[in-house]
Homo-oligomer: A and B are copies of this chain.
Amino acid sequence: MRTYEAIVDAVLATEQTKSFVTSRRAELEVDLGGIPGDRHYGLLRPADVRQRFYARGTMIANRRQLSLLAAEECEIVASALGVPVLRPEWLGANVLLRGYPSLTQLPLGARLLFASGAGIIGEGENEPCIGPGRVIAEACGRPELAQRFVKAAKHKRGIVASIELPGVIREGDRVAIMIP
């Protein structure tokens, strides 16, 4: 078991369930389904194009409860797109980390333990799609960024995660990252 450390730069959740865009919070209280009230909350979720082996819409266990980004990876993508900053809100992130720059490569099953009490399990790379690209394009007034985001963010768009130990994740938290 290798252990690393990072810091929680920001925590965010959706305002409602209609849009994936998130906004900042002081802390997140998570339970076994994720962040209550957030768009991705639930013990179950409908299977989508990522689980082609199930009929679309079949309710399956929700392993995509949280979206995590590394600030360092966001900076690389911002630079590739020629924008001054890539806001985690635009990507629908719930947790922005700093200090672990290769977050997207974190192997499935790694644990992230937050000083405020919550523990989560890394569920693997989040593959970029055009939704956040459109938000970025709109925010920056540059329509060509929608498609360019998908390519630029490949292997740099962070991970999804599910809750192992219900509790709190707070801005400024230290995070122990444990790789089996």
Residues of A in contact (CB 8 Å), total: 25
A152 is an interface residue with CB less than 8 A from chain B: no
CB-contact partner of A176 in B53, B111, B178, under 8 A: B53
Report the nearest B residue to A52, measured CB to CB: B1
| Count of identical protomers in the assembly | 2
The prevalent SS among residues of A at the interface is strand
Point out the residues of chain B lying under 8 angstroms from A111, CB to CB. Answer: 53
A83 is an interface residue with CB less than 8 A from chain B: no
Q: Mark A112-124, 1 if CB is under 8 A from B, else 0.
A: 0100000101011
Point out the residues of chain B lying under 8 angstroms from A178, CB to CB. Answer: 53
Q: Tell whether, in the assembled complex, residue A54 and residue B109 are in contact, meaning their CB atoms are under 8 Å apart.
A: no
A85 is an interface residue with CB less than 8 A from chain B: no
Q: List 28 A-B contacts (CB under 8 A).
A: A32-B43, A32-B44, A32-B61, A53-B111, A53-B113, A53-B119, A53-B176, A53-B178, A54-B119, A54-B165, A58-B165, A60-B119, A60-B164, A60-B165, A61-B121, A61-B162, A61-B163, A61-B164, A61-B165, A63-B121, A63-B164, A107-B108, A108-B108, A108-B109, A109-B109, A109-B123, A109-B124, A124-B180
